[in-house]
Amino acid sequence: MIIELNMQSEEPIYTQLIHQVIEGIASGQLQPGEPLPSVRSMASDIGVNLHTVNKAYNLLKQGGFIQIHRQRGVVVDPDGVPAATDSDRARQQQQLRPIIAEAICRGMKEAELIHAVQSIYRNIVSGTKEREL
C-alpha cells in the first residue's frame, strides 16, 4: 500500500496517515495480521517526524485497527477490526454532520450526496482511488 500525504493540507499528517491505514484495511489492501513498517521506518519512508507516526499508530491501536508487539512489531489486527459500537456510530454521525451541512449550503441535493457516498463506498471496497463524482 502506498501512503500519499498532502503536506499542504490543513488536515494534520497523523490524521492523514490514520485515514489511509483505515482505508487500506477497508479496501482489503491491508489484511489482518499483515505487518506495517516500524515507527522509525515509516517516518523515514514518508519523510515525517517519528512522533507523528507514533501518534497515528497509537490512535490506530486504540481504535482496534492495529496491534503493536515488541517482538512482532506493528501488524493489522489479526482478529479484524471490532464491530462498531453505538458510541462509534454516534461519533461517525457527529463527524459527518458538518460535511453534510456544508454540502447543503453549497447546493448539493440529497440524491447527489447519497450518490457521492455510494461512489466513495464502492471505490473503497473495490480498492480504487478513482472518483466517480
CATH number at residue 52: 1.10.10.10
Render pLDDT for 39-74 as a digit per residue (tens, 0 to 9): 999 999 999 999 999 999 999 999 999 999 888 899
Render pLDDT for 101-128 as a digit per residue (tens, 0 to 9): 999 999 999 999 999 999 999 999 998 7
The pTM assigned to this predicted structure is 0.86
- Let me know whether 114 and 66 are in one domain: no
Please report whether residue 116 resides in a domain: yes
Query: Among residues 42, 54, 45, which one has the least CA distance to residue 14?
Result: 54
- Let me know whether 68 and 40 are in one domain: yes
**d(Cα 82, Cα 25) in Å, to the nearest integer?**
12
Phi/psi for 33 (5° steps) reads: 85, -10
**d(Cα 66, Cα 97) in Å, to the nearest integer?**
27
Please report whether residue 68 resides in a domain: yes
- Let me know whether 109 and 55 are in one domain: no
Where in the sequence is the domain holding 46, given as residue range(s)? 13-76
Alpha-helical (H) ranges within 13-130 are 13-27, 39-46, 50-62, 86-105, 110-126
Q: Residue 38 carries which DSSP code?
A: -
- Let me know whether 22 and 66 are in one domain: yes
Please report whether residue 105 resides in a domain: yes
Per the structure, the count of domains in the chain is: 2
Please report whether residue 51 resides in a domain: yes
